[in-house]
Structure 1
Amino acid sequence: MTGTYSIKFIDDTGNRSDNAARIIVTAPDPQPNQIILTEREDTDVPPFQGEKVNTFYDATFDGLLLDGTLLWDSITQNIDDLSNIDFAGPINSSGSYEFQNKVDMGAIFNLMLKRRFVTSGLFVNDLIDSRTALIDTWTEFDGTQADDVNAKLLVATTDIDPATSVSASYEQSGTTITITKTDHGYSVGDFVVIDFTAGSATDGNYEIQTVPNANTFTVTASASATISSGTSCTYGANFTQFNTFANGEYTARGFKFKCELESNDPAQNINVTELGFEASVKRRTETVNTSIASGTSAKTVTFANPFFTGTGSLG
């Protein structure tokens, strides 16, 4: 990925190098691809409209950050005494942001993806009285270099329509939830978002644990319960797990994207100021060696490898 990278080294005892080395990388682009979609979550109005867990958009920093762990009802001191109301209490150690829209190519194609990802670390609780971690664990005392944070950009793919919604039934025994649907076609290790429209099971993104037969699959709930069979639910397309989004070529029909934020110091935060991707297809030429009869009627030419011609539901 083209850009300037700052690198610090850490030895096996946890000591860090004093200064970061900078490396400038320029990726070669010998034959430009055909760009079909450019997505930026940070330039939406308002920015970052996707699903947030322990994260929020802060207009002051103009980016996506981890929020504080202190709940409003738990604040006991005067509001005026808080150094920063958005980051009250220690910073959450982790959070996530899922992009607002999925990408649907309409069929399975090879797609080149290039990420847009700009982040920086910062101290939001840099006063001595605001720092809750033991002083022996501080990696930075002066509050000038926030390098105990990280962010990752992830992608998951599916070979079917990402907007798929299937009506089914379920039952729960202990922590095992059994989904019943004739010829569901899903496999162990697939991830599927399930909406339990009846009963007390918790909606969420589940990994399929077992496939007893063609008509059932099981997932594991976080809490034990007993729910009778025949209770209604709906589930979506089967996606892969979220994997690290590296620039490159992907083969699938549908794509969804997620950003994970981490902090190992409750005084440090990470600011995601640019978040998105560029999707493109390779330019190519194919030929068909069969004869085409002359005439005034329209002709259909079928290529061995289909071309992406566009779709109204791309993203």
Structure 2
Amino acid sequence: MAAAEGSSSTVAVLATLAFAYYSNRPRLAGPTRSNLLRRPEVQTLDAAGLGRALAPLFASEYVQRVTVAECDVGTIDRRTVARRTATDPTRADHLSADEFAARVALVVTHLPDAPPSAALGVARAVRDSRHLAAFGARSPWVREVARSTAAELPSLDNAGLTLYRNGESEAPAAPWTPDRRREYDRARRVPRDASTLAAEWVAAWRDQVSPGAHPVTAVYRAYVASAERASATPVGRNHFYRLAEEVCGPRKRRASGPVFVVSQEVTPMDRKQRRDLAAVIVDRLTEEWRGHALDGLADLVAERQAATATNSAVASSAISGAANVVDLAAHRAGRAA
């Protein structure tokens, strides 16, 4: 971007943004130890606030694309940052998270000093922030600033751009509407028969493949292709991995990524054995999820009962204390008589 080349106009815009940011008494992050700076205490500007303040500087050249991904704890939003192509107004080229963080870091290193009227903590935070930014994407604080900046960028879809990644174009993602969210949530509720079919497929796959290490992503792709050929709805990636681990054992780590290891002494099973194994696996996982839910409910009830007992004890103590109050005027009158 222009700020990276250090043009005078961009420096002036940065100075204007920084002045407005400093004048609103910016929030500071808590002092922390920095291994990068090798100092026991470093004071930085709040990463989220600084990212929002810098976003207008990037908004004209950079866009974001938000996609939703499924993980073990639910769903997460993933942001892809792209830069508009100067020679093609309909194209934006993908940037990795580290590349975008490095560009944000370069801007932070050019932050002007805080004005003399600013608090000493702000002036120190500006200096320490610039020092950390010199390390680029190696700094966790810089990556946090970059994520905050990316969240404020215009949408790739709203801008009518096509994302290019590694020289290949990607169709714009469909807008994430409430109806699409409900459809996605319904799809994540895996039917019992779909789990059983997936477990049967893994058992059959294990009997047919050669012994050795098989990348988990390749196994899942093969399962999805098989499900689509059978006009069946495949289960989600992480749900599939849990089923596969019951058949093949836990995933193993390799330099190229996680794998399922199929041992040499695997004995092929017939169709009935595979179906029985699939039923056992699904029953086991269902019982495990039910147990976690009941444990969580028991903990919640216990916490609420403890809170109720504590409140009752406090109220009783207050009432008994009020009953023991002595009327000093009546006491003095009795002693005078």
Normalised by the size of structure 2, how large is the TM-score?
Answer: 0.20
Task: Compare the two structures and name the one with the higher helix fraction.
Answer: 2
- TM-score (ref. length: structure 1): 0.21
Name the structure, 1 or 2, with higher relative contact order (CA <8 Å, separation 6+).
Answer: 1
Q: Which has the higher strand share?
A: 1
